[in-house]
Structure 1
Amino acid sequence: MYKAGNASVLGLVLGAEDFSDFLTRSKVASRVAQHDQELIEEMQVKLAEIQDTKDSIEADKIDLEGTKSQQDAKRVQLAGQLADTQDQIQDIEALEQDYLANKAAIDKQMEEVQAEVDAIYAKIKSEGEYEGGIMLWPVEGYETVTSDYGWRFGGTDFHTGIDIARLNAKGEGIYGKPIRAAADGTVAFTQTTFTPGRGYGIYLIIDHGGGISTLYGHTCGLNVKLGDKVKRGQTIAFVGSTGWSTGPHLHFEVRVNGAYTSPWPYLQ
């Protein structure tokens, strides 16, 4: 009856033989119409449920595609980190091999360089008190330390600072990136020429007062000159690979009255 529509209902009523039959048929027609309405409403509910199910499936599909994209991005990130770690290992191994293969000559050269640096520090007259507090990390966004402060190469060489290198979170290399002053101070020394494979290359020293100073080595160029007053965070140089270096990095030192010390208490 529902499929026949309103015409069937009308035909049922109009086909009555008398008034009594008309009333009977009207009641039947009313019930049929009510039943049809109930069927329509039930179908509308079911259609709404089907649409909700479809929307839910589409949403799940989008979530799955998003999850897959995130997983793919994470895979690429991890692959990049693995490659970067392997590069770090190769850099350290290259530096160690160079050192061990030329240990006598390099030790002699390093002694000469340290003597030169000690002589430079002896001439630096630290002014005022150190009020810098915790120092600023010198290369923003680059947190990988490829060579820490202390003994290395199996206890055969003492590293007087930390080497900051490699990539940032965007995968950008460190070469040419700005080097920031770790604290307020005065540029106490600059070295703008260098001998390839020797010493700190192009570097500078900043006096922060109270006998505290910082050294920034292997730069590709300076952004300040001797005697300049600098502020914490100011760009003072750019990361390079000058002097005794196997790749772009910043050699960062903290010294107290000219004697090297671990930078970590000043950076953390």
Structure 2
Amino acid sequence: MTKQPESSVARPHPGALALGVLGELLITAGLVLALFVGYSLWWTDLVADARAERAGDRLRRAWAAPAAAPPGQAAPAPTYRPGADGIGFLHVPAMGRDYSVLIRLGTGSEVLDGGVAGVYREPYRAAMPWDASGNFALAAHRDGHGAKFHDLDEVGRGAAVVVETRDHWYVYRVDGTLPRASKFDTGIIAPVPEGSGYPGPGRYITLTTCTPVYSSRFRMAVWGSLVRVDPVDARRTPPPELRTS
């Protein structure tokens, strides 16, 4: 009888094997990257927003309690611990009808990652809204960790910016914006912000964040000046700039 040849299985070429392994690695890397982006932008937003909401609720409850003061004396001026105590709330209608963000001292990640707007303490110590003059300079994330200044580019000249504290509403009007600056340009948060056009000392506010979106390569700034100060009434009625029909 004639012996039949044994069947053989073709072996893949080494190059094809390498391409297959490379493809699997690229798919895995893509999945890992997608998970990382989802964590950075979605999950950190949820966590930061929840933390900020709890902190904001605590601050409003504290405001509702009578201010401690010795008999016959005014309540002492408040003091704030960086990253721990809430100073007030920032309201910017141009970034949303009900836009509000808690304000705390400090601009480090340990502060801003909590979904708040942070007050600069260096290289210039920002003035508070109630100070006689100076620049109340704030920073917040544009992406991730609450992304509180994601829409800062929507805030233009003439827009209202309101800072709410326990006893007052500080109403500012935006006078100018800076779409892009070096992240090393500290002059934009100086007591008299460089490039703002302000001729001298006044009562200013500066909002800063990273630009372009999903990048920290540059900084953008919004500058405003104080228009008036309204006292907070018993019903905590917001100023006209924040009232909606």
TM-score (norm: length of structure 2): 0.34
More helix by share: 1
Tell me which structure has the larger Cα radius of gyration.
1
